[in-house]
A and B are shown apart, each in its own frame.
Chain A
Amino acid sequence: MMRRAAAFLLMLVAFTGAARADQLVTDLSEHQIAIRSNFTGTQILLFGAVEARTPGTRALNRDVVVVVQGPVRPVMVRRKERVAGVWVNHDSVTYPNVPGYYAIASTRPLEVTAAADTLKALRIGIENIGPGAPTARSIDGTVQILPPDEETAFWKALIRNKRRDGLYINVPGGVTFLGQTLFRATVNIPANVPVGLYTAKVYLLQDGEIVDTISSPLYIDKRGVERFIFRMAHSDPLLYGLIAVLVAAFAGWLASAVMNRR
Chain B
Amino acid sequence: MQIYLPIAELPVNILTILAMGATVGFLSGMFGIGGGFLMTPLLIFLGIPPAVAVGTQTTQVVASSVTGALAHFTRKSIDFKMGGVLLAGGIVGSLSGIYLFKVLTAIGQIDLTISIAYVLLLSVIGVMMMVESVRAIRAARGGAQPARRGGHHSWIHGLPFKARFRRSKLYISVIPPVLVGFFVGVLSAIMGVGGGFIMIPAMIYLLRMPTNVVIGTSFFQIVFVAALTGVMHATENQAVDIVLGFLLVVGGVIGAQYGVRAAEKMPAEQLRALLAAILMLIGLRLGYDLISTPPDLYSIIEVEPLP
Chain A residues near B (Cβ < 8 Å):
35-41, 73-81, 85-89, 92, 94, 96, 100, 141, 153-154, 157-158, 160-162, 164, 191-192, 222, 225-227, 229-230, 233-234, 237-238, 240-245, 247-249, 251-256, 258-260
Contact B6 A245 (CB under 8 A): no
A229-B7, A241-B231, A260-B74 given. 11 additional CB < 8 A pairs?
Answer: A36-B4, A39-B11, A73-B303, A76-B108, A80-B298, A226-B6, A237-B235, A244-B231, A245-B62, A248-B63, A248-B245
Q: A89-B109, A241-B230 are in contact. Are A252 and B4 (CB under 8 A)?
A: no
Q: Given A40-B4, A252-B67, A256-B71 in contact, is the A161-B253 Cβ separation under 8 Å? A: no
Please list 28 pairs of residues, one from A and one from B, whose beta carbons are closer than 8 Å in the complex, sorted by A's number.
Answer: A38-B3, A40-B11, A74-B304, A74-B305, A86-B112, A87-B290, A87-B297, A89-B108, A89-B299, A100-B302, A154-B298, A160-B298, A161-B299, A164-B296, A229-B7, A229-B242, A233-B234, A234-B238, A237-B234, A241-B231, A241-B234, A243-B242, A245-B62, A248-B66, A252-B249, A253-B67, A253-B70, A256-B67
Q: Does B306 contact A (CB under 8 A)?
A: yes
Q: A191-B4, A259-B257 are in contact. Are A244 and B290 (CB under 8 A)?
A: no
A153 partner residues in chain B, CB cutoff 8 A: 298
Expressed in whole angstroms, the Cα–Cα distance for A79 and B293 within the complex equals 12
Q: Which B272-306 residues have a C-beta within 8 angstroms of A?
A: 290-291, 293-294, 296-306
Determine if A252 and B63 form an interchain contact, defined as CB atoms under 8 angstroms apart: yes
Q: Tell me whether A248 and B108 are in contact (CB under 8 A).
A: no
Q: Is the CB–CB distance between B231 and A238 below 8 Å?
A: yes
Instruction: Give which listed residue, B3, B58, B62, B257, contacts A37 with CB less than 8 A.
Output: B3
Contact A237 B303 (CB under 8 A): no
B303 x A75 contact (CB < 8 A): yes
Pick from B231, B243, B296: contact of A245, CB under 8 Å: B231
Give the interface of B toward A (CB within 8 A).
2-4, 6-7, 9-11, 58-60, 62-67, 70-71, 74, 107-109, 111-112, 116, 223, 227, 230-236, 238, 240, 242-243, 245-246, 249-250, 253, 256-257, 260, 290-291, 293-294, 296-306
CB–CB A249/B66 < 8 A: yes
Question: Is B7's CB under 8 angstroms from A241's CB?
Answer: no
Query: Complex: how many Å from CA A41 to CA B10?
Result: 10
Q: Which residues of B contact A258 (CB under 8 A)?
A: 257
The main secondary structure of chain A at its interface with chain B is helix
The interface residues of chain A lying within 8 Å CB-to-CB of B2 are 38, 40
Find out whether the CB atom of B257 lies under 8 angstroms from the CB atom of A256. no
User: Which residue of chain B has its CB nearest to the CB of A160?
Assistant: B296
Residues in chain B near residue A238, CB distance under 8 A: 231, 234-235
> Which residue of chain B has its CB nearest to the CB of A225?
B6
**Residue contact B299 to A78, C-beta cutoff 8 Å:** yes
Shortest Cβ gap from A34 to chain B (Å): 11
Per the bound structure, the CA–CA distance linking A218 and B164 in Å amounts to 68
Listed residue (B230, B236, B256, B294) with the most chain A CB atoms within 10 angstroms of its CB: B230
B7 and A161 form a contact (CB under 8 A) = no
Which of A35, A88, A237, A252 counts the most chain B CB atoms within 10 A?
A252
Nearest B-chain residue to A191, judged by Cβ: B11
A255 touches B6 (CB 8 A): no
B260 touches A259 (CB 8 A): yes
Q: CA of A247 to CA of B246 in the docked complex: distance in angstroms?
A: 8
Minimum distance in angstroms from B19 CB to a CB of chain A:
18
* Nearest CB in chain A: distance from B111 CB, A: 8
Q: Measured between C-beta atoms, what is the minimum distance from A58 to chain B in Å?
A: 46
- Is the pair A249, B63 in contact by a Cβ cutoff of 8 Å? yes
CB–CB B4/A38 < 8 A: yes
B59 near A247 with CB under 8 A, answer yes
- Decide if A240 touches B10 in the complex (CB within 8 Å): no
Contacts of B71 in A (CB 8 A): 256, 259
Interface centre among B10, B63, B304 (most CB of A within 10 A): B63
Contacts of B305 in A (CB 8 A): 73-74, 96
What residues of chain A lie closer than 8 Å to B116, measured between beta carbons?
Answer: 86
Q: B3, B4, B74, B306: which contacts A74 (Cβ < 8 A)?
A: B306
Contacts of A241 in B (CB 8 A): 230-235, 240
Chain B residues positioned under 8 Å from A73 (CB to CB): 302-303, 305
Q: Report A-chain residues with C-beta under 8 Å of the C-beta of B256.
A: 255
Given A78-B108, A245-B59, the answer on whether A222 and B290 have CB atoms closer than 8 Å is no
